[in-house]
Amino acid sequence: MTVDPAAAPLEVDPLLDDPETRIIVCCGSGGVGKTTTAAALGVRAAERGRKVVVLTIDPARRLAQSMGIDSLDNTPRQVKGIEGPGELHAMMLDMKRTFDEIVEAHADQDRARAILENPFYQSLSAGFAGTQEYMAMEKLGQLRAREEWDLIVVDTPPSRSALDFLDAPKRLGSFLDGKFIRLLMAPAKMGGRAGMKFLNVGMSMMTGTLGKLLGGQFLRDVQTFVAAMDTMFGGFRTRADATYRLLQAPGTAFLVVAAPERDALREAAYFVERLAAEEMPLAGLVLNRVHGSGAARLSAERARAAAENLEEGRIVDQGHGKNGVREAASPAGSPPDSPDPGPGQLPHQETESQTPEQPSVNQLTAGLLRLHAERMQVLKREQRTRDRFTALHPEVPVAEVAALPGDVHDLAGLRAIGDRLAGGSPATGAA
């Protein structure tokens, strides 16, 4: 299948080769092959000469193994087997470890230990839905600051909503150095300010309520945590802001990844709109698992009609056909616009040789045609879904990646995906 003329093709190689491209962020809804795309881009960029690090969030086991990073140690490891002048490093994010490292780097030893041992911190660093997003962005900032790689490819967390990774850092940042947490700590301090009186009343009621709701110990844990983190608070907002600006910078390119399915493309459209609103630089859409056919000029309807012709023929040559029913049983027949085989042509198939263990050629051919009809139906549906996206966002360049029959397990598989991403092989393949 070729790219619809309405949408410009996304040129992947120039993007990967451009030394100005320093960060590529792959985003999209769950289950669309985001992590595989990020890994394939990493392999391709490295084999084209760049020094690349791929930051994955939650890769499937075998994908991680294909890059040799099945140990989760939060450090980039060089991937062996890259063919070409560049280098590929890969790492899997350990969000708790990343959070711990921030604490250790910004607090003296005693204070750091107090924080790390705090129950609220332990839940926050391991459990809070936004922590993964925040730490992914934090890690991205760290990798960028190290200046060891000339390209960072980052995968985004499998969020509740694909947009979470843009919002969560801000949310966590504003919570950690926000008004609320300070009020929790020292409600009395706020009381003196003009206009804050009602807040003070609200405040004592609020801590009371939250205390009742969550249990007093919980609030004490939070307060201890806040006291220990006090010196670091300004830092969180600053860091969240810095990462955000990094994402807006010219060296960053966002790729929205989707599959040609309604929900995934709807999410992709949201994403495109959101990135535009946030002034984040969108490079294009990667459409994974697109089906194609080398026999696309044979429509589903014609293929089905031809299969019916053959199957009726089989009834004849096997000799137990219900003769009277045969004609009546094919109301569909051949569509008027297809060359009519004519009943006269069918009998010559009776001469086909048949052995009991092998299906007849007619049966097989009918199967091939039905298979093709099914494929064409998929193609049509995918095209329709895609057209809807293109109509909404004609400005977004698209790269289509042909579906593979199986999953990717090794560098060769990632390389093949990379070829398809770069338009090296048309989407004729795959079931």
Partner 1 sequence: MSRLQVVSGKGGTGKTTVAAALALALATEGKRTLLVEVEGRQGIAQLFETEALPYEERKIAVAPGGGEVHALAIDAERALLDYLQMFYKLGSAGRALKKLGAIDFATTIAPGVRDVLLTGKACEAVRRRDKQGRFAYDYVVMDAPPTGRITRFLNVNDEVAGLAKIGPIYNQAQAVMRVLKSPGTAVHLVTLLEEMPVQETADGVGELRAAELPVGKVIVNMVRPHVLDEEAVNGVAGDRRKEVTKALAAAGVSAPTKLVGPLLEQAAEHAQRVELEREQRAVLAKLGLPTYELPLIGEGMDLAGLYRLAGELRNLGEAR
C-beta of 71 vs 209, nearer to partner 1: 209
Q: What number of chain residues touch partner 1 (CB under 8 A)?
A: 104
For residue 383, the minimal CB distance to partner 1 (Å) is: 11
Confirm or reject binding of residue 14 to partner 1 (CB under 8 A): no
Among 7, 15, 25, 305, binds partner 1 (CB under 8 A): 305
C-beta of 14 vs 127, nearer to partner 1: 127
C-alpha 55/C-alpha 26 separation (Å) is 10
Q: Which residues inside 205-234 make contact with partner 1, applying CB under 8 A?
A: 205-206, 209-218, 221
Nearest partner of 190 among 182, 301, 353, judged by Cα: 182
List, edge to edge, every strand of the sheet that includes 77-78. Answer: 77-78, 87-92, 51-56, 151-155, 23-27, 252-258, 282-290, 398-402
Nearest partner of 230 among 390, 103, 378, 344, judged by Cα: 103
Confirm or reject binding of residue 364 to partner 1 (CB under 8 A): yes
Among 253, 366, 411, 416, binds partner 1 (CB under 8 A): 366
Confirm or reject binding of residue 31 to partner 1 (CB under 8 A): yes
Confirm or reject binding of residue 414 to partner 1 (CB under 8 A): no
Per DSSP bridges, beta strands 87-92 and 398-402 are unpaired
Segment near partner 1 (CB under 8 A); pick from 204-212, 240-248, 272-280, 316-324: 204-212
> Which tokens is 171 given?
């949310």
Among 249, 295, 332, 391, binds partner 1 (CB under 8 A): 295
Q: Are 288 and 401 in contact (CB under 8 A)?
A: yes
C-alpha 214/C-alpha 220 separation (Å) is 11
Q: Which residues inside 247-286 make contact with partner 1, applying CB under 8 A?
A: 259, 261-264, 266
Confirm or reject binding of residue 369 to partner 1 (CB under 8 A): yes
C-beta of 210 vs 227, nearer to partner 1: 210
Q: Which residues inside 310-329 make contact with partner 1, applying CB under 8 A?
A: 310, 313
What three-state secondary structure class fits 289? strand
| H or E, element range at 386 | helix 361-392
For residue 252, the minimal CB distance to partner 1 (Å) is: 25
First to last CA, the chain: 14
Confirm or reject binding of residue 348 to partner 1 (CB under 8 A): yes
Segment near partner 1 (CB under 8 A); pick from 71-79, 245-253, 275-283, 361-369: 361-369
| H or E, element range at 273 | helix 262-277
Among 158, 235, 251, 321, binds partner 1 (CB under 8 A): 158
Confirm or reject binding of residue 298 to partner 1 (CB under 8 A): yes
> Which tokens is 311 given?
């199957």
Cβ-based neighbour number of residue 342 at 10 Å: 9
Cβ-based neighbour number of residue 318 at 10 Å: 13
Confirm or reject binding of residue 128 to partner 1 (CB under 8 A): yes
Confirm or reject binding of residue 2 to partner 1 (CB under 8 A): no
Among 18, 325, 384, 391, binds partner 1 (CB under 8 A): 384
| H or E, element range at 54 | strand 51-56
C-beta of 75 vs 217, nearer to partner 1: 217
C-alpha 384/C-alpha 325 separation (Å) is 38
C-alpha 415/C-alpha 400 separation (Å) is 15
Interface mask toward partner 1 for 50-89; x: CB under 8 A: --------x-xxxx--------------------------
